[in-house]
Amino acid sequence: MKETTPARLTSTQTNEFANLNRNHLNFGGLFNGFPITNPDKTLQTRGGGKGLEIYTEAARDCHLSAVLEKRYLSVIRLLWEVIPASDEAIDQQAAELVRQQLHNLAVPVSSNSTSTTLNVRGFDGVCLGLLEAIYYGYAVAEIIWQRHNQQIIAHRIKIHDRRRFTFVANEAGEFDLRLLTPAERIKGEAVPDRKFIVHQYGSDDDNPWGWGLGSKVFWPVFFKRQNLQFWLTFAERYGSPLAVGKYPQGTSQDAQQVLLDALTDISQGYRVIMPKEMEINFQTAAQNGSIATYESLCNFCNNEISKCVLGETGTTDQTGSGGSRARDSVGNEVRLEKTQADADILSETLNRTLARWITEYNLPAARPPRIQRVVRQAQDHEKQARVDKLLYEQGFRRSLDSITATYGEGYQLAN
């Protein structure tokens, strides 16, 4: 058989053809050296001077806050592990090094903590902060490095307010993270290498800001709030009788004011007195609408929020007619798929930043290990835990090595 000569690659094939400076959406190539505008249409039409703050305000909605926390925590509850790049000793050493540093980040919360937010610290706390990219589009964390016992360790990782940063395109057609400072409020200052972790959700190579869910769920939250205002007005109007004051013909303005003040006091729950000639009656307003209209609209908005964030509504919006096992099973599968996808995307960010940098600083000859969280493994652990509980009740005890082999590290025998 005649051998074929490998085809030669031209510079056009090896270099990016549709680079940023050839993007007609970037105003004639005026991209290089200038901050990139977030293309989120919701921010552009509703953000005004607030920017991402409108998504923070929307997240104060009880239902949206609950489903976001459910999505974040479904990832955090998964056990994490560090997988060596190979069986070679140096790669095994690198995996153990990364594993130890992540465990050292896992500092328990103080019992006297007064935090009103989710009480998660250490490595899981870092992951929780980065997962907010799901809602906002991107998240930024800063690594505080220290030298300890001949090692360079990630001593602390701080989640920063994403609004303090911007992105600028460089000459290579790539995006650089910049820190906005009092001296550089437009272009920002360049950040050091191996210092900042940027986690993006729904991003593409032309948009470093990511495509967060906030752009979508903002609208059902907005409409629900508008609806609630009308609902409260409806309840005030039709929920209490209307006090009507009557006075004889020819009553002076001062006497009419006495009657009006009496009506005001009645509406505020005070006792009143008034001249005998005046009369106060209570009339119930005729109800031309139905309160169910407002309630249905609120439920519709909540369902839309649940579908956008969780991919299903079964775990958040059960109706009085009862649930369906088949529907709930499908909804749970969808939710688990989203959880695994979120875990995979987060792990990819950590693997190309934190895991790689720890390895390069300390064992440059090693190949970086892989951090991962697995949904199915967590489900298997739950089943195994039920079996272990039954065995324990029958008098059987598992060794620490057996527990570690099944559930991972971080456990010790109780006294």
- Domain extent, residue 284, equals 217-318
Give me 156's structure tokens: 């602390």
Residue 340 has a pLDDT of 93
Asked whether residue 77 is domain-assigned, the answer is yes
Question: Which residues, listed in sequence order, are joined to residue 152 by a DSSP beta bridge?
Answer: 147
Residue 5 has a pLDDT of 62
Q: Widest CA span of the chain, in angstroms?
A: 119
Asked whether residue 108 is domain-assigned, the answer is yes
User: Do both 39 and 177 map to the same domain?
Assistant: yes
* 3-state SS class at 272: coil
Pick the closest to residue 55 from 137, 177, 164, 159 (CA basis): 137
Residue 207 has a pLDDT of 87
Asked whether residue 387 is domain-assigned, the answer is no
Q: What is the mean pLDDT of the chain?
A: 82
Q: The dihedral of CA 152, 196, 109, 93: what is its sign?
A: negative
Give pTM, 2 decimals: 0.75
Residue 218 has a pLDDT of 96
Asked whether residue 73 is domain-assigned, the answer is yes
User: Do both 223 and 362 map to the same domain?
Assistant: no
User: Do both 176 and 90 map to the same domain?
Assistant: yes
User: Do both 95 and 188 map to the same domain?
Assistant: yes
Asked whether residue 41 is domain-assigned, the answer is yes
211 confidence band (pLDDT: 50, 70, 90): very high
More confidently predicted of 299 and 24: 299
User: Do both 149 and 277 map to the same domain?
Assistant: no
User: Do both 91 and 49 map to the same domain?
Assistant: yes
More confidently predicted of 165 and 250: 165
Asked whether residue 14 is domain-assigned, the answer is no
Q: Which of 20-34, 113-127, 254-268, 323-337 has the highest mean pLDDT?
A: 254-268
Q: Cα separation of 316 and 67, whole Å?
A: 8
Pick the closest to residue 362 from 96, 135, 142, 104 (CA basis): 96
User: Do both 339 and 307 map to the same domain?
Assistant: no
Asked whether residue 158 is domain-assigned, the answer is yes
Is 233's pLDDT higher than 70?
A: yes
Last residue of a domain, one of 272, 292, 318: 318
Is 115's pLDDT higher than 60?
A: no
Is 97's pLDDT higher than 80?
A: yes
Average pLDDT over residues 247-265: 79
Give percent of the chain above pLDDT 90.
Answer: 44
Would you say 177 and 353 are in contact if contact means Cβ atoms under 8 Å apart?
A: no
Average pLDDT over residues 322-343: 74
User: Do both 196 and 262 map to the same domain?
Assistant: no
Asked whether residue 19 is domain-assigned, the answer is no
User: Do both 308 and 233 map to the same domain?
Assistant: yes
- The beta strands (E) that lie in 124-216 are given as 138-148, 151-160, 165-169, 175-179, 189-190, 196-200
Would you say 227 and 301 are in contact if contact means Cβ atoms under 8 Å apart?
A: yes
User: Do both 265 and 142 map to the same domain?
Assistant: no
Average pLDDT over residues 220-236: 85
- The beta strands (E) that lie in 235-331 are given as 242-246, 279-283
Pick the closest to residue 197 from 155, 148, 160, 172 (CA basis): 160
Residues sharing a CB contact under 8 Å with residue 99, sequence separation 6 or more, in sequence order: 82, 369, 409
Average pLDDT over residues 335-355: 94
Q: How many domains does the chain have?
A: 2
Average pLDDT over residues 261-273: 67
Is 362's pLDDT higher than 70?
A: yes
Is 284's pLDDT higher than 60?
A: no
User: Do both 162 and 240 map to the same domain?
Assistant: no
Residue 28 has a pLDDT of 41
User: Do both 51 and 122 map to the same domain?
Assistant: yes
* 3-state SS class at 110: coil
Q: The dihedral of CA 290, 293, 294, 295: what is its sign?
A: positive
Residue 114 has a pLDDT of 41
**In angstroms, what CA-CA distances link 329 with 157, 169, 311?**
38, 46, 13
Is 229's pLDDT higher than 60?
A: yes
Is 217's pLDDT higher than 80?
A: yes
108 confidence band (pLDDT: 50, 70, 90): very low
Average pLDDT over residues 290-306: 88
Q: pLDDT for 58-87, tens place per residue?
A: 999 999 999 999 999 999 999 999 999 999
Backbone phi, psi, residue 368, to 5°: -60, 140
